[in-house]
Structure 1
Amino acid sequence: MISWRTGLTIALLVGAIASGWSVWRQSRPVDDGVLKTRPDYVLRDFEITSLDKQGQESFTLRGPVLQRDPADKTMELATPVFLVPDRDNRYWRINAKYGVVPADGSQLQLRGKVLATSPADAPPATRIETEQLNLFPGENRATSAVAVAITRPGLTMNGHGMQADFDRQQISLLSQVRTRYVPQR
């Protein structure tokens, strides 16, 4: 027969072991994927000017948040605003809901309510609206594979797919193009 003191000692020992194990388990970080997806750096309320190989401005990027994923080296942008100079150093302004910059930095993938407007002093005033735009800043061009609307004074064009050259102010819709022309008075 076990005395009550021996029973109490065994119960306290089991309780101490269980408490110690519980504290040890909670003190270790749990690999639930949260730590793997945490950005390795975050910029807030930033402005970045990127230069090309000749030291000329390639684009300026402004936004409230930029964060980089350490696993694949991509950067995510919240409500980015890009200012892209044309060959005469006039700026196209491009806004989007969000953007992604792949690790190689060769293009900027803008998504959600993308709006590009031509320089104010470079007629005709041009407005490009789409849900997806891939911007190639080193080449001053952009592409889209989805529906695009282009508006100029007296002219509205809608189509599917687009190629744009900002230096030449040339924009081409690729398919299903509909145009509406209203003469200016």
Structure 2
Amino acid sequence: MNPRRLLTWVLLVAAIASGWSVWRGLRPQAQAAADLRPDYVLRDYQIVALDRQGRESFTLTGPLLQRAPVSRALTLVTPQFLIPDAQGHYWDMRSERGEVPADDSRVELRDQVVAVSPPQTPPPTRIETASLTIDLNRKLARSSAEVVITRPGLTMRGKGLEADLAHQQVSLLSQVRTRYVPQH
């Protein structure tokens, strides 16, 4: 056999083998990309969740909600949670993003989290932090990040927070600094 013809066949077989290898390598990537794609998406949504007694547990609104097919976690873009206290007045909680794990036991708000107490329940309270975890069943909020709490004439800063949203009780956990300016 001609050495040129033999070299042509060897190169042809090598090209087919490498093409097949590349094609097989792309299939897992295509499957992985399909796994990353949400199995459902809600746009401009409002969800009202009820507790076991049929009372409103919370209302969630936002422009975008996606569910991951593998973890079944919900990803939220600029969510707003309205969480009623014991008198039925609403805490207004917002952030840049959020996540709800598959077990629906909590909400994790991240980036520019702002929580405002019900206006009907004095004193008006505003909480700002980078992250906040809310136990929706017990209506408790926690954070390990830096927190700023403002009320009329009062600013408190600290690290860590525990809040009982149903009873309007908010506590800073450590490194607390307070500034009080009397109102005239």
Q: For the residues of structure 2 that align with 1:167 and 1:95, how far apart are their CA atoms? A: 17
Please name the residue that 2:27 is paired with.
30
SS at match of 1:35: helix
Please name the residue that 2:154 is paired with.
155
Larger-Rg structure:
1
Q: For the residues of structure 2 that align with 1:39 and 1:114, how far apart are their CA atoms? A: 25
Which runs of 5 or more residues in structure 2 are unaligned?
none
SS at match of 1:31: helix
| 1:92 and 2:94 are equivalent in the alignment | no
Measure how far apart 1:121 and its partner are.
1.4
| 1:122 and 2:129 are equivalent in the alignment | no
Measure how far apart 1:168 and its partner are.
1.3
SS at match of 2:112: strand
Q: For the residues of structure 2 that align with 1:80 and 1:34, how far apart are their CA atoms? A: 26
Please name the residue that 1:71 is paired with.
70
Divergent runs of 4+, >4 A:
none
Measure how far apart 1:167 and its partner are.
1.6
**What is the identity, as a one-letter code, of the residue corresponding to 1:30?**
R
Cα root mean square deviation, aligned = 2.2
Measure how far apart 1:30 and its partner are.
2.9
Q: For the residues of structure 1 that align with 2:35 and 2:86, how far apart are their CA atoms? A: 42
Identity between Structure 1 and Structure 2 (%): 51
Q: For the residues of structure 1 that align with 2:157 and 2:56, how far apart are their CA atoms? A: 31
| 1:45 and 2:39 are equivalent in the alignment | no
Measure how far apart 1:105 and its partner are.
0.6
SS at match of 2:87: coil
Q: For the residues of structure 2 that align with 1:96 and 1:182, how far apart are their CA atoms? A: 28
Q: For the residues of structure 2 that align with 1:43 and 1:167, how far apart are their CA atoms? A: 29
Give the structure with the higher percent helix.
2
SS at match of 2:72: coil
What is the CA deviation profile of residues 101-138 of structure 1, one whole-angstrom value per residue up to 9, with x for unaligned ones? 01111000000000000111111110000000001111
Measure how far apart 1:31 and its partner are.
2.3
Which runs of 5 or more residues in structure 1 are unaligned?
none
Q: TM-score, normalised by structure 1?
A: 0.85
